[in-house]
Amino acid sequence: MKQATSRDIPKPGKKKQPAAQPDEEKRPLFRAQILRLAACNYFPALDEGVKELIDSLIRVSHGDQDHAERIVNRALQNSPNCPTPYGFEVVASEVPRVTAPRGCEKCEGTGFHYVTKLTRDPITGDSYEADCQERCDCELGRFLAAREVERKQMERSA
């Protein structure tokens, strides 16, 4: 059994601070995401159940509103039933937390830009210019290239 130390004993006049709660200003935004699930089967009828879902969504999304929205989108796509708090953990594990950076003017936010390449027809051997897409060298293009490498590695390992 662990011995109590002087740090464990509260000092007179000082109250122990409760665990840090998510920013109360953000709670309505997470509540709005949870209420999108109201049309699902087994949506909680009691406010306590809705509060548990909100707390769970905040926890699994790490307080990131964009990630929370993507989690709810995936939950709506996957099942007609409202997820449980554990269900949010499962769905969150399928949804990447990282969002893509913005593109540049060259790629206009797509991560690709057009180039004209000299191409040879494999049958006739004639050369001609063709408009092609290449991955842009901006932050978005590099991000997409890295994600593609990750995806291919996952496909090989599966």
Q: How confident is the model at residue 150 (pLDDT cuts 50, 70, 90)?
A: confident
DSSP E strand boundaries for 2-126: 112-120
- Domain locations in the chain? 22-94, 112-157
Can you say whether the dihedral through the CA atoms of 130, 131, 134, 136 is positive or negative? Answer: positive
The more confident residue out of 12 and 47 is 47
> pLDDT category, 18, cuts 50, 70, 90?
very low
β-partners of residue 128 are: 119
Rounded to 5 degrees, φ, ψ at 132 are -130, 165
